[in-house]
Chain A
Amino acid sequence: MTQSVANGTASLERGANPTIKQKQQAFPLVLLAPCVVFLLVMFVAPLIYVIVLSVTEPRISAENYERIFASPVYLRVLWNTFQTALTVTLVSLTLGYPLAYVIARRSDWLGTCLLAIVVISFWTGFVVRTYAWLIILGNRGPVSNIFHWLGWEPPQLLFTSFSSTVGMVHILLPFMVLALLSVMKKIDALHLRAANSLGAPPFTAFRTVFLPLSLAGVVNGSILVFTFALGFYITPILLGSPRDLMISQLINQQIEEVLNWGFASALSIVLLSATLVTIIVGNKLFGLDRLWG
């Protein structure tokens, strides 16, 4: 916004003075500077520091990494993290796809209402939403009340990987829906009409035309949700089981309880690498948005 306004003024003055052209070329860089400085100081520098810590603490060696990949305990945490992230992604996709489909294809009240629900949920703080699940799934919450009412003993809902997954799906579903929606909205309804006129009944038209065209959104949304879920901290710590640690919880434990900064740094780098690999592989395999986005 600021940049475009500034560019506008600059172009108005173009030609009035030869030095203005030079100023104009330098101008975007000047505008970028605060952001670049901020990222360097707050992001790049700490990241380098973390990388350095991971191989220098307590001494210069790769022992922190060796420890991660040698111990079944830590490998289980990694495996659990991936498994949870994958489950959350698949559940979000299963729930989000039909939702996004209805919102994209219906411009009437139904589509608007559903979109409003998604967006409001998106705007509500995720700590608040996580606490809401504490109440819903709690010992005297509505879910266990229903079990009591039916005369059954309620199962342990809270502090399990189930509750943790539910909470994460709830928080990440809007990301999935919005990612799907951005692609689905661009699919011309005329394509489906064309498919119909060429002999495809509605479901076949959906399967042969809409679904392939929405794949870009599926991939984008899945990568988004998966990478978010990989690093999730608050929700698993509040709702999850202490036995099913996720990697971010382990990192926190290492810093706060064990004060092992080197090992925590190594874990962070592993998490970061896993996230990067997911994004790169996802983009390589299904860089669909560039194909027909």
Chain B
Amino acid sequence: MNFFTELWQDFHHVMIENDRYKFMIDGLRNTFIITFGALAIGVVIGIIVAAIRTSFDKNKETLRLRGGFGYYVLLFLNGICKFYLTIARGTPVVVQLMISYFIIFAVANDGVPVAIFAFGINSGAYVAEIFRAGIMSVDNGQFEAGRSLGFNYFQTMWYIVIPQMFKAVLPTLCNEFIALLKETSVAGYVGVIDLTKAGNTIAGRTFSYFIPLITVAVIYLVLVMVLTWLVGRLERRLRKSDH
């Protein structure tokens, strides 16, 4: 019996018999749901936090000169954002996940929404800093040119700064997305059957580790490679304006 026939028989025994591959499919589905859900939350939080932090940096002098409440409102919001960034980036995501599941949402019996929440809150902090760096990287002359034409602050951001920011941060944002996808592999800590947990479960039932864990690794790798390829295409499309 050669190596490949043996491998196939192992694979058949571990994955196909008793429909054990269905664990993997369910796990993959949960991994997708958690990753995309967390990404959506992360991007929304990221935009809000980055908007507050950059408008505070850009406008604090003007607002202070002009007086009134505006300055203090922005100062307060900026403080909250900084506090959030410190906590979300300063503690391990597994710990945040477990605090969410066992303390904050102790009544919850489904781990998936809690995982979406926890990973979303965590990822939002990183996305916020990516967006903020992106906005800062756009030359201030672009902002001034927009304002000089009569666009207000938000129109200038929306039509002129953010499209340029997006192009600048796309590779970094993609890295964050890939990191997030892989980070969700700790969702098993709160009883969620994600891809990793599914592999582990099959391994436990068949007392065979090689096939399930290598399969899990290959699936993650393929997902990451497809994502990288898609973002590469998008980047090339966005780059058509600079030659």
Q: Do A and B bind each other?
A: no
Contact surface of B with A, Cβ cutoff 8 Å: none
